């Protein structure tokens, strides 16, 4: 078992040799922080995953090339403007962002990742971006992690950050991440960004393998509204300062690292789901005993992205038929006449369906459970032994209000 502890009030700049800043560059009308720089003082290997949307923002296209480099030491992120659907000029602007950060920090532009989040279709205001990057690079510090987490927010209601410590070969290893995401969030990456840093000593190949597998079970298992963005990105940097024996194969060290990575990514994913635009509750859906992992995942994802199911949860209505309906069109292979459905919360657990049919249940207790801020749905397919968990939120009036005037 991995011995891991959550580090309260720690963030990405508490990891050895990582510095960061979060500043206001004037990109947001509100004057709030809108640009961050994350920097490793020493060389680091990087891995990343990107949106599956065919329409990809300029920074995503740039990063898909840069991430191939053996050394990645800087990540620059602006909020308030997505630099998406901006053509040749948008690509030139993304490259200029990387070049500016590289020049400030004495690196090659290929050793820099850049990202943008915000409104689609507008060119970046480079007269503001370039000075902001220079300012952000000049202000990187060992205490800038919290500011960086704030600077990447768009409609998020809170900044998302986590840090953990664990051991490999008797050496203490630290890992920390920040994320943003609230709307346009859907499985297979969403309008979400996450940036993980660690001082683990691991090869680029093993980091890439661990990260991509971890994303499949974390960020790719959340949904807020069923929309997949043009800018989604998750990246991890490892600067090898912990001093553990190099992780270069799938041995015990690798799996210890992977467990910590999974934990960090899942916790950030849950924060994103909880902070869905207008949401009042976090939904966790566990599908048990599918014939294979793919079928269990299909069912879990289908439930959390069902708008009718999400509306029922908002109204604290134990309408289990909507859950049954959503797995029916999921594309999964299962027997509807075997399905059991439960809802669970702090107040208790209730079975609402058995073998695909309804059961008499305590409606008052069911409503009390569904009024809680953290609600669990358990679906037992009784068809195998593979389980999958997905996270989402309810769909509320406020979601429509927020997105009805997003541009204005």
Concatenated DSSP letters for 149-194? HHHT-SS-SS-EEEEEEEEETTEEEEEEEEEEESSS--SSS-SEEE
CATH class of 282-404: alpha beta
Relative orientation angle of helices 204-216 and 252-274, to the nearest 10 degrees: 40
pTM of the model: 0.85
pLDDT digits (tens, 9 = 90+) for 22-43: 999 998 888 899 999 999 999 9
Task: Sketch the domain layout of the chain as residue ranges.
Answer: 4-274, 282-404
> Which residue has 């991890």 as its token pair?
236
Domain 4-274, CATH number (from 3.30.465.10, 3.40.605.10, 3.60.70.12, 3.40.50.2300): 3.60.70.12
Question: Which entry of 13, 117, 154, 191 is annotated as an active-site residue?
Answer: 191
Contacts of 255 (CB under 8 A, 6+ apart): none
Q: Give yes or no on whether 4-274 and 282-404 have one common fold.
A: no
Whether 113 shows a pLDDT value over 60: the answer reads yes
d(CA 226, CA 183): 9
pLDDT digits (tens, 9 = 90+) for 319-378: 999 999 999 999 999 999 999 999 999 999 999 999 999 999 999 999 999 999 999 999
* Backbone φ/ψ region at 324: left (φ over 0), alpha (ψ -120 to 50), beta: alpha
Quick one: which of 206, 208, 201 has its CA closest to 238? 201
- CB-CB neighbours of 87 under 10 Å: 9
203 catalytic? Reply is no
- CB-CB neighbours of 188 under 10 Å: 17
Tokens of residue 291, six digits:
């014939």
Average pLDDT, the chain: 91
Per-residue pLDDT band at 303 (split at 50, 70, 90): very high
Q: What is the DSSP string of 226-243?
A: SPPPSS-EEEEEE--TT-
> Between these two residues, 13 and 314, which has the higher pLDDT value?
13
d(CA 354, CA 379): 10
Can you give the pLDDT at residue 276? 67
- The total number of residues shown for the chain amounts to 408
Per-residue pLDDT band at 219 (split at 50, 70, 90): confident
Quick one: which of 334, 281, 274, 329 has its CA closest to 301? 329
How wide is the angle at C-alpha 346 spanned by C-alphas 341 and 351, nearest 5°?
20
Sheet architecture: strand order including 171-181 = 4-6, 160-168, 171-181, 192-198, 233-238, 45-50
């Amino acid at each position: 078992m991995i011995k891991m502890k959550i580090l309260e009030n720690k963030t990405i700049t508490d990891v050895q040799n990582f510095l960061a800043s979060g500043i206001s560059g004037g990109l947001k009308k509100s004057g709030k922080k809108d640009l961050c720089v994350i920097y490793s003082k020493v060389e680091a290997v990087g891995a990343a995953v990107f949106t599956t949307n065919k329409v990809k923002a300029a920074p995503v296209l740039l990063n898909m090339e840069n991430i191939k480099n053996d050394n990645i030491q800087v990540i620059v992120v602006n909020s308030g403007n997505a630099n998406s659907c901006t053509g040749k000029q948008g690509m030139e602007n993304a490259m200029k962002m990387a070049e500016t950060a590289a020049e400030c920090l004495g690196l090659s532009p290929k050793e820099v990742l850049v990202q943008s989040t915000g409104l689609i279709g507008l060119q970046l205001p480079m007269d503001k971006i370039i000075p902001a990057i220079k300012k952000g690079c000049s202000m990187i510090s060992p205490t800038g992690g919290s500011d960086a987490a704030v600077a990447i927010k768009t409609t998020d209601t809170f900044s998302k950050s986590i840090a953990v410590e664990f051991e490999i070969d008797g050496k203490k290893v630290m890992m920390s991440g920040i994320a943003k995401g609230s709307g346009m969030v859907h499985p297979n990456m969403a309008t979400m960004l996450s940036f993980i840093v660690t001082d683990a000593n691991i090869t680029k190949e093993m980091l890439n393998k661990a990260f991509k597998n971890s994303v499949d079970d974390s960020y790719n298992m959340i949904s807020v509204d069923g929309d997949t963005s043009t800018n989604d990105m998750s990246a991890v940097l490892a600067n090898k300062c912990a001093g553990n024996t190099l992780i270069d194969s799938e041995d015990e060290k690798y799996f210890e690292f992977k467990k910590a990575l999974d934990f960090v990514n899942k916790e950030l994913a849950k924060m994103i789901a909880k902070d869905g635009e207008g949401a009042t509750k976090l939904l966790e859906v566990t599908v048990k005993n599918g014939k294979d992992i793919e079928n269990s995942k299909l069912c879990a994802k289908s439930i959390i992205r069902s708008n009718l199911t999400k509306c029922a949860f908002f109204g604290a209505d134990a309408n289990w038929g909507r859950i049954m309906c959503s797995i029916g069109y999921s594309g999964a292979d299962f027997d509807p006449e075997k399905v059991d459905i439960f809802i669970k919360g702090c107040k208790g657990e209730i079975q609402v369906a058995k073998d695909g049919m309804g059961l008499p249940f305590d409606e008052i207790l069911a409503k009390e459970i569904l009024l809680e801020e953290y609600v669990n749905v358990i679906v037992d397919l009784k068809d195998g032994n593979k389980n999958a968990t997905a996270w989402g939120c309810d769909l509320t009036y406020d979601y429509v209000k927020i997105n009805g005037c997003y541009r204005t």
